[in-house]
Structure 1
Amino acid sequence: MTIEKNICGAEEWCKFPQLAVPAIKARVDSGAKTSAIHALNIQTFQREGISWVRFDVCPIQDNRKTVIHCEAPIYDRRSVKSSSGNTEKRYVIKTSLAIGEQSWDIELTLTNRDAMGYRMLLGREAMSGKLIVDPEASFSFGDITNEELQDLYRVKKAPNKGMKIGVLASNPNLYSNRRIIEAGEERGHEMVFLNIKHCYMKMDADNPEVHYRGGKILNDLDAIIPRIRPSMTFYGCALTRQFESMGVYCLNSAGAITQSRDKLHSLQLLFESKIDIPITGFANSPLETDDLINMVGGAPLIIKLLEGTQGKGVVLAETKKAAESVINAFKSLKADILVQEFIKEANGKDIRCFVVDGKVVASIQREAEPGEFRANIHQGGTASLIMPTAEEKRIAVKAAKSMGLKIAGVDIIRSAKGPLLLEVNSSPGLEGIEGATGKDVAGMMIQAIERKLKWKSLVS
């Protein structure tokens, strides 16, 4: 039995009903094996145990403001050689293609086609048994005018549409980032992950912009949740300031994050706010090592790199000789350090209070592994539910306020002279505190944005 094939031109208008793409101009190329569509902001996620991919399609050539947000199950991931000779690893989805009156399922790879003349390429695998190409023809199944195209992509505002919130971070697969995105989506908002390294800025007093990889202009965000890793503090805060200048609400401001990351400055701010901290010393010369050690009550004592984080660059020196060796070693590396009294009675435990919008919403006690000390809690140990005292809650809220942070992880240690504040973290992790308390801390962060922007959530 012979199957009748339709004749198509070298370019045709295609439609993808399952992706909600009503029209996209494709170059028809029987010399290319695979079909491809122009996709940006490609992110993978899990849905009911199945791997999915979400991506943005800019279906109109030379137009980056018209965006269709798409999701589809991942069918495959394979290496594809482009016309330029470069090999690229691409995600493959399987979806319905409609041309004219015909529709059938095809495999479609996701890639950035900004440098190409067409937003889509229709390859021979998708045409097999369906189409024959007449290279001299164009739009054999009908053309679409610019007016018709604009009408197809006219933005229709839904009355119940949520906000658009970006998570500015480095790792989309990190538990905390995934939970924030899930929490926002559960409350009816559109959540987008923005990789710090993929953002770049247009500095313009009249029209400041942030662009994203592929040239997308990030001009439709209601709020940003900065989750900036220490190594990206400078650039991440610069981006946060840029969003602030564009009128986008940032859950933690760039100024608050910057001062919380400066250990010395943050301790000085806490001291000015009359918040008790362990006795701490700072110096920039090994010649004062003896006096520096005596200043904090002698050994044992804690020695910290000024730029260290999450327990890295933190050493417990149990004797004066060991302290002198560590201090001089750090100084030989020209590293700024803090020395701090060791609170022996804490027994390797501290309290993490999670502050959201001026309130302690969850608390855990963290305990280091036997034989370790408190700083190594970040690299192991256990977390358990604890009820902080009224004084500990007061300290946590006051500490976050002194830094200007709406979201903060405040670490407190119990000493013989009362609770002492150790550190204020502007990007606290969620896994330990949500796991131990069972609370939806990520959801509380989204609610803080809703309150600030006076958004009435669709979730009761």
Structure 2
Amino acid sequence: MEDLKIIGSEEWCVFKELGVPAIKARVDSGAKTSSIQATNLKIVNKGAQEWVKFEVNPLQENRSIALNCEARLIDRRMVKSSSGISEERLVVRTPVTLGENTFDIELTLANRDTMEFRMLLGREALTDRYIVNPAVNYQIQEFSEDEITEKYKPYYKEKTGLKIGLLASNPNLYSNKRLMEAAEARGHEIVFLNVEQAYMKLDAHSPEIRYRGGNILRDFDAVIPRIKPAVTFYGCAVIRQFNNLGVYCQNSAESITQSRDKLFASQLFSKNDIHIPITGFAKSPMDTKDLIKMVNGAPLIIKLLESTQGKGVVLAETNKAAESVINAFKSVNTNILVQEFIKEANGQDIRCFVVNGKVVASMQRQAEKGEFRANIHQGGKASMIKITQEEKKLALKATKALNLAVAGVDIIRSNKGPLLLEVNSSPGLEGIENATGKDIANEMIKDIERKLKFS
């Protein structure tokens, strides 16, 4: 026992054969086998042996450095995680250096993105070598921040473009994939950030945004917000935090919030002399009949205040049906708008895509037979259309009223001229890119470059 060295609860390990100059480990005598953060695992054959190629992000709160490692595969084991879930992990054996001592240890390869430490040092590595004192840290070896920076200096990539965050929920959506492709094609680094996995530190001296497992989101030049309606409140809070940290957000939290509140947006449009279908709003069920009369009676449209993409929109074809639907919504304290139905539109509307005060593409959407909404995801058909100057002015004026840099503006043609239906602050790209052949994702990235004066 007297020959055993004291080891702290946190220590620096070096893996020369793996090419890892330093990695901080949590010392855990409760875990049998040591574990290291590993992603992109690939098994390859070298003669009669199986080897594993994998990537290690060795530094906490830093995903920009990824080391390519390989080691001989010695086992596959079922391991129970801290959450109690069993999973198969690949096991390798490799030398580790702690201070002056180098010895072989077994490592399970695991995705530790959600863990505080990139490595865990288990009791097999400690037995007959160390005694753990959990009250202290770095008893074997300690590296300063400057020393770590110097060790990893060769691995830092020279910055040639912007660093952009795509703040959304689903990386597999067409729009999100197109934006990732467009940014990379123009030489930028773009990182997908799941808005629900970001969290904030609110502090006057050192405010932060952290992401899944404690990684601090830093050095971003711009953020493209594509917030789904279900997380508008939280998403806008994250956008405000990015803005507070000096990061350019293509659409601001305030403009997104305004666009999602159909009542407030309609009031803004009225204030700015932007023509919309006659719209009514009331609280008391006693005013239902007059509310219907006010918008020229049935047929009429009933909309939830925070509806989007055609969801929460109902066509009431008679006054009696309209009364029933309106009163049903009011009975459960759901706020709705009542809007005149533009019959002459015949199930058609126009989507104008606005970027930086310019209509970059327009398409006409035709609803399926028997439907009144022309949304493409609900079966509507899209085709390219040349809009009039009056329609273009309407689209730009509506976007400006909400202070949006990027917007999808829906317009309907009526006997009174073009009317504004709504403005979408996270418009989809698939339908309009396919219908027009325009590279809208590229236009959005170019807009960020212009705003940040990047060349």
Deviation per CA, 1:268-320, whole angstroms, max 9, x where unpaired?
11112211111111111111111111111111111111122211111111111
Find the counterpart in structure 2 of residue 340 from structure 1: 339
The answer to whether the Cα contact below 8 Å between 2:259 and 2:425 also exists between their aligned partners in 1 is: yes
Supply the distance in 1 between the matched residues of 2:257 and 2:248 (Cα, whole angstroms): 17
Supply the distance in 2 between the matched residues of 1:422 and 1:444 (Cα, whole angstroms): 24
Find the counterpart in structure 1 of residue 274 from structure 2: 275
The change in CA–CA distance for 1:158 and 1:332 in structure 2 (over 3 A counts) is same
Question: What SS does the aligned partner of 2:337 have?
Answer: strand
Find the counterpart in structure 2 of residue 232 from structure 1: 231
1:42-53 to structure 2, matched below 5 A, reads none
Percent identity of paired positions between Structure 1 and Structure 2: 59
Q: CA deviation at 1:375?
A: 5.7
Find the counterpart in structure 2 of residue 114 from structure 1: 115
Find the counterpart in structure 2 of residue 294 from structure 1: 293
Q: CA deviation at 1:109?
A: 3.1
Equivalent residues, number: 413
Supply the distance in 2 between the matched residues of 1:107 and 1:172 (Cα, whole angstroms): 28
Deviation per CA, 1:60-90, whole angstroms, max 9, x where unpaired?
4xx5358524799xxxxx9953364721568
Q: CA deviation at 1:182?
A: 1.7
Find the counterpart in structure 2 of residue 87 from structure 1: 85
The answer to whether the Cα contact below 8 Å between 1:311 and 1:377 also exists between their aligned partners in 2 is: no
Q: CA deviation at 1:351?
A: 0.7
The answer to whether the Cα contact below 8 Å between 2:163 and 2:219 also exists between their aligned partners in 1 is: yes
Supply the distance in 2 between the matched residues of 1:134 and 1:123 (Cα, whole angstroms): 5
Question: What SS does the aligned partner of 1:397 have?
Answer: helix
Supply the distance in 2 between the matched residues of 1:385 and 1:366 (Cα, whole angstroms): 9
Which runs of at least 4 in structure 1 moved beyond 4 Å after TM superposition? 20-23, 25-29, 31-36, 69-72, 92-101, 120-124, 155-160, 375-378
The answer to whether the Cα contact below 8 Å between 1:34 and 1:108 also exists between their aligned partners in 2 is: no
- The alignment's TM-score, normalised by the length of structure 1, stands at 0.78
Supply the distance in 2 between the matched residues of 1:71 and 1:178 (Cα, whole angstroms): 25
The answer to whether the Cα contact below 8 Å between 1:16 and 1:98 also exists between their aligned partners in 2 is: yes
For 2:230, give the aligned amino acid. S
Supply the distance in 1 between the matched residues of 2:34 and 2:259 (Cα, whole angstroms): 49
Supply the distance in 2 between the matched residues of 1:12 and 1:345 (Cα, whole angstroms): 73
The change in CA–CA distance for 1:305 and 1:430 in structure 2 (over 3 A counts) is same
The change in CA–CA distance for 1:452 and 1:305 in structure 2 (over 3 A counts) is same
Question: What SS does the aligned partner of 2:281 have?
Answer: strand
Supply the distance in 2 between the matched residues of 1:277 and 1:25 (Cα, whole angstroms): 60
Q: CA RMSD in A?
A: 3.9
Supply the distance in 2 between the matched residues of 1:27 and 1:336 (Cα, whole angstroms): 52
The change in CA–CA distance for 1:373 and 1:66 in structure 2 (over 3 A counts) is closer
The change in CA–CA distance for 1:424 and 1:155 in structure 2 (over 3 A counts) is farther
Structure 1 residue ranges without an equivalent (≥5): 1-9, 45-53, 73-77, 125-132
Find the counterpart in structure 2 of residue 129 from structure 1: none
- The alignment's TM-score, normalised by the length of structure 2, stands at 0.79
The answer to whether the Cα contact below 8 Å between 2:365 and 2:381 also exists between their aligned partners in 1 is: yes
For 2:119, give the aligned amino acid. R
The change in CA–CA distance for 1:84 and 1:416 in structure 2 (over 3 A counts) is closer
Is structure 2 residue 179 aligned with structure 1 residue 168?
A: no
Structure 2 residue ranges without an equivalent (≥5): 1-10, 42-53, 70-75, 131-139
Q: CA deviation at 1:341?
A: 0.8
The change in CA–CA distance for 1:70 and 1:339 in structure 2 (over 3 A counts) is farther
Supply the distance in 2 between the matched residues of 1:377 and 1:369 (Cα, whole angstroms): 10
1:258-407 to structure 2, matched below 5 A, reads 258-374=257-373, 377-407=376-406
Find the counterpart in structure 2 of residue 64 from structure 1: 61
The answer to whether the Cα contact below 8 Å between 1:16 and 1:96 also exists between their aligned partners in 2 is: no
